[in-house]
Amino acid sequence: MAKVDSLWRQWAPRLLSILRIIMAFMFMQHGAQKLFGLLGGSRGEPPPFLSQTWIGGVLEFFGGLLILLGLFTRPVAFILSGMMAVAYFQVHAPRAFWTIQNAGELAALYCFVFLYLSAAGGGPWSLDSIWRRVKS
């Protein structure tokens, strides 16, 4: 049992990096829909410059890209966590109390995983980690 525990402890930082990468890849898809009309998004014009939809798309796509790369992970994740909290309370919470009824599961989950990443950082497989090693 100690051997299994040791293995999980050894892999925990790597799994943090894997969580960050997979989550960022999925998050970027929302921005790609809004900004570029890809993946089932609007086929019309992009959202008006500096509109709430445009700002959300920029944060989702380019913020997601920074999270994917693990660059400036903590501050970007903190901003994205706040953005998803706003999205939840502005769009989903007024519909119903329970997330299953208001379709807010993704917004709430992204909010809290980004909040976790803002505290935990990007893990060993991140540009932040490489940058720290080079600076040392």
Q: Is the pLDDT of residue 101 over 90?
A: yes
Model pTM score: 0.92
Burial degree of 66 (CB within 10 A; 0-12, 13-18, 19+):
buried
If you average pLDDT over residues 3-21, what whole number do you get? Answer: 92
**Shortest CA distance to 80 belongs to which of 12, 136, 41, 31?**
31
- CA separation for the pair 72, 102 (Å, rounded): 32
If you average pLDDT over residues 45-72, what whole number do you get? Answer: 96
Secondary structure class of 14 (helix, strand, coil): helix
- Domains of the chain, by residue range, sit at 2-135
